């Protein structure tokens, strides 16, 4: 037997049917005078109607109303009503001298002028304030006032963006995040069974909207210290692409030098995987072959590869890039850096993209950091690391080093407009990954193990794979003879 609260919640979810219930109840009551069964029908409909009314009057709905439309209305009203005061306290107001004639005398009055408030609107947890600069003010002045406005209105975060079109040169939108939607943990849900490869949904943005990441035509670097939640971003991408993997519109290549602990869980999604440095070189070399073949086929025809069934987008997923580029054996490291740099510079347009995770984003660890075209900055250890990952001047607008360890999966990203946004990836439980990897298993398996023979094409791998033969030591020359050769003046050298 369901509880009344359950009925209330159910009725609340289906409240759009309340009109239908009302209509049917009225019809049933109307028929009641002629049809003996009608009162019973009305009695059957009445609980649903009562549940709906109860839900509408319940404290849950009142709270939802207060935290939803009412709260948003209050935010908007506060800005509109006290705009002059807000502008003055944020340093946006100024004064102009106006000369007037009073009783035949010239009087100079000082008038307070504020930038014009063009629009105030709310979207989810976002309060958007569109401001047009007053005379003598620049959009930089408006940008500088944004943190002050955010703190005056008790906003959680803020960002500014220019307005496009019209008198855009002097108009700015200040987006204030009024409530933090990212404090709650969200578990990922299975993706729609559509083969999409352009973008994948990874989680939520701080304004309450969705966070999606573009995959096609981008190389992605996911940086974050241990426990920052790189796994959520990695599996969000792999599992989001799962329907496309099954349809062979996308092929995933996995490199996990942490003994495959992470990627082996969803191995069914990967056409090829490498859990040792030597196999990783095999994966990179095979992808270079794909690039060479595609380059030859696409030359003069198209500039961006269009993935189709059988001619897919290749996504190379590397968990802990540093294991390959910094901590591997020096000969492997050298080859890996060269091959990966080539893939990063040539692969994007040819339908070969890289998604790499790294704990330590320093240049000596990830030498090709600058070749990635988009970055996701999860929790980092210092402001310097934020600059390394997101770029100069980003510590103020996208402080990834200030993300709390209690909110794993939270990251700062820079969107296509160049504005920074705080996002949180959904969590992917192991069971869901395994289940998806079984159901969307790829039929394409590529063997990438480099042959350990003397095949001239794979000579470099053979060399890297096999332990190098030690060079025989040159016998040391006699110290005396060296001294004599170096000192011809002393005579008797020959």
Cα distance between residue 120 and residue 76, in whole Å: 6
Window 401-440: contact mask with ligand ATP (x via CB under 6 A): -------xx---------------xxx-------------
Indicate the residue among 427 and 461 with the shorter CB distance to ligand ATP: 427
Indicate the residue among 195 and 265 with the shorter CB distance to ligand ATP: 265
Instruction: Flag whether 228 is marked binding.
Output: yes
Window 384-403: contact mask with ligand ATP (x via CB under 6 A): --------------------
Indicate the residue among 149 and 205 with the shorter CB distance to ligand ATP: 205
The set of residues, in sequence order, having a beta carbon less than 8 Å from that of 27 and lying 6+ positions away, is none
Instruction: Flag whether 90 is marked binding.
Output: no
The set of residues, in sequence order, having a beta carbon less than 8 Å from that of 350 and lying 6+ positions away, is 290, 291, 294, 295, 298, 305
> How many CB atoms sit inside 10 A of residue 262's CB?
19
The DSSP secondary structure of 388-450, one letter per residue, reads: HHH-TTHHHH--GGG--TTSTTEEEEE-TTS-EEEEEEPB--HHHHHHHHHHT--S-----PP
CB of 357 to ligand ATP, least distance (A): 7
CB of 426 to ligand ATP, least distance (A): 6
Cα distance between residue 317 and residue 261, in whole Å: 14
Indicate the residue among 230 and 314 with the shorter CB distance to ligand ATP: 230
| CA distance to 94, 98, 113, 114, per residue, from 134 (Å) | 9, 16, 8, 6
Instruction: Flag whether 170 is marked binding.
Output: no
Whether 111 and 91 have beta carbons less than 8 Å apart is answered as no
For residue 4, state whether it binds ligand ATP (rule: CB under 6 A).
Answer: no
Instruction: Flag whether 231 is marked binding.
Output: yes
Instruction: Flag whether 225 is marked binding.
Output: yes
Kindly state the number of chain residues that form the binding site for ligand ATP, as judged by CB under 6 A. 15
Window 452-481: contact mask with ligand ATP (x via CB under 6 A): ------------------------------
Q: Which stretch binds ligand ATP (CB under 6 A): 54-62, 219-227, 363-371, 381-389?
A: 219-227
Window 313-352: contact mask with ligand ATP (x via CB under 6 A): ----------------------------------------
CB of 405 to ligand ATP, least distance (A): 9
CB of 428 to ligand ATP, least distance (A): 8
Cα distance between residue 331 and residue 291, in whole Å: 23
Indicate the residue among 243 and 408 with the shorter CB distance to ligand ATP: 408
Indicate the residue among 224 and 347 with the shorter CB distance to ligand ATP: 224
Indicate the residue among 44 and 227 with the shorter CB distance to ligand ATP: 227
95-120 b/e (C-beta count within 10 Å ≥ 16 → b): eeeeeeeeeeeeeeeeeebbbebeeb
Nearest CA-CA partner of 357 in 387, 389, 396:
389
- List 185, 259, 452, 483, residue binding ligand ATP (CB under 6 A): 185
Whether 253 and 336 have beta carbons less than 8 Å apart is answered as no
Opening angle at CA 304, ends 372 and 413, nearest 5: 30
Q: Where are the extended beta strands (E) located within 133-219? A: 157-162, 171-177, 199-205, 210-214
Instruction: Flag whether 247 is marked binding.
Output: no
CB of 13 to ligand ATP, least distance (A): 26
Indicate the residue among 169 and 227 with the shorter CB distance to ligand ATP: 227
Window 220-259: contact mask with ligand ATP (x via CB under 6 A): ----x-xxxxxxx---------------------------
Closest residue to ligand ATP: CB criterion? 409
Instruction: Flag whether 230 is marked binding.
Output: yes
State which of positions 349-378 bind ligand ATP (CB under 6 A): 359
Opening angle at CA 271, ends 267 and 276, nearest 5: 65
Indicate the residue among 408 and 450 with the shorter CB distance to ligand ATP: 408
CB of 283 to ligand ATP, least distance (A): 20
Using CA of residue 75, residue 80, residue 86, residue 87, what is the dihedral sign? positive
Whether 432 and 265 have beta carbons less than 8 Å apart is answered as no
Cα distance between residue 384 and residue 361, in whole Å: 10
Instruction: Flag whether 238 is marked binding.
Output: no
CB of 261 to ligand ATP, least distance (A): 8
Place of tokens 């040539």: 346
> How many CB atoms sit inside 10 A of residue 79's CB?
18
Whether 397 and 217 have beta carbons less than 8 Å apart is answered as no
Indicate the residue among 314 and 422 with the shorter CB distance to ligand ATP: 422
CB of 265 to ligand ATP, least distance (A): 11
State the binding site for ATP: 224-231
Q: Rule CB under 6 A: which residues touch ligand ATP?
A: 185, 224, 226-232, 359, 408-409, 425-427
State the binding site: 224-231
């Amino acid at each position: 037997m369901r509880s009344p609260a359950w009925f209330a919640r159910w009725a609340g979810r289906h409240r759009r049917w309340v009109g239908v219930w009302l209509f049917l109840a009225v019809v049933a009551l109307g028929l009641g005078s002629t049809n003996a069964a009608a009162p019973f029908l009305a009695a059957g409909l009445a609980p649903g109607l009562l549940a709906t009314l109860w839900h509408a009057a319940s404290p849950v709905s009142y709270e939802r109303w207060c935290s939803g439309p009412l709260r948003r209305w209050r935010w908007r009203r506060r800005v509109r009503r006290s705009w002059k005061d807000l502008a003055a306290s944020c340093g946006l107001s100024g004064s102009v001298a106006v000369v007037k004639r009073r009783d035949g005398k010239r009087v100079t009055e000082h008038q307070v002028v504020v930038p014009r408030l063009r629009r105030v609107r709310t979207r989810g947890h976002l309060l958007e304030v569109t401001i047009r600069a007053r005379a003598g003010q620049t959009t930089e002045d408006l940008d500088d006032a944004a943190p002050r406005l955010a703190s005056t209105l008790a906003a959680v975060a803020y960002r500014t963006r220019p307005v496009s079109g019209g008198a855009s040169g002097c108009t700015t939108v200040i987006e204030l995040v009024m409530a933090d939607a990212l404090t709650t943990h969200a578990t990922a849900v299975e993706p729609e069974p559509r083969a999409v490869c352009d973008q994948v949904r990874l989680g939520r943005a701080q304004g309450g909207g969705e966070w999606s990441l573009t995959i096609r035509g981008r190389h992605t670097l996911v940086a974050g210290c241990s426990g920052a939640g790189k796994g959520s971003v990695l599996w969000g991408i792999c599992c989001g692409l799962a329907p496309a993997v099954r349809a062979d519109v996308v092929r995933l290549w996995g490199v996990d030098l942490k003994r495959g602990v992470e990627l082996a869980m969803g191995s069914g999604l990967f056409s090829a995987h490498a859990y040792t440095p030597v196999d990783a070189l095999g994966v990179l070399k095979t992808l270079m072959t794909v690039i060479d073949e595609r380059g030859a086929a696409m030359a003069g025809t198209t500039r961006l590869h269009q993935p189709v069934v059988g001619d897919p987008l290749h996504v190379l997923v590397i968990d802990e890039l540093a294991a390959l580029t910094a901590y591997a054996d020096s000969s492997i490291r050298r080859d890996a850096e060269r091959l990966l740099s080539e893939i990063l510079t040539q692969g994007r347009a040819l339908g070969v993209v890289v998604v790499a995770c790294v704990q330590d984003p320093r240049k000596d660890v990830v030498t090709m950091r600058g070749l990635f075209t988009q970055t996701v900055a999860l929790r980092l250890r210092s402001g310097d690391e934020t600059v390394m990952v997101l770029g100069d001047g980003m510590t103020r607008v996208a402080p990834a080093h200030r993300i709390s360890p209690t909110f794993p999966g939270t990251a700062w990203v820079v969107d296509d407009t160049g504005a920074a946004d705080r996002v949180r990836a959904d969590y992917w439980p192991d069971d869901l990954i395994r289940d998806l990897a079984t159901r969307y298993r790829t039929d394409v398996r590529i063997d990438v193990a480099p042959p350990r023979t003397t095949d001239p094409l794979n000579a470099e791998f053979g060399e890297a794979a096999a332990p190098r033969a030690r060079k025989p030591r040159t016998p040391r020359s006699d110290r005396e003879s060296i001294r004599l050769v170096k000192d011809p003046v002393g005579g008797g050298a020959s």
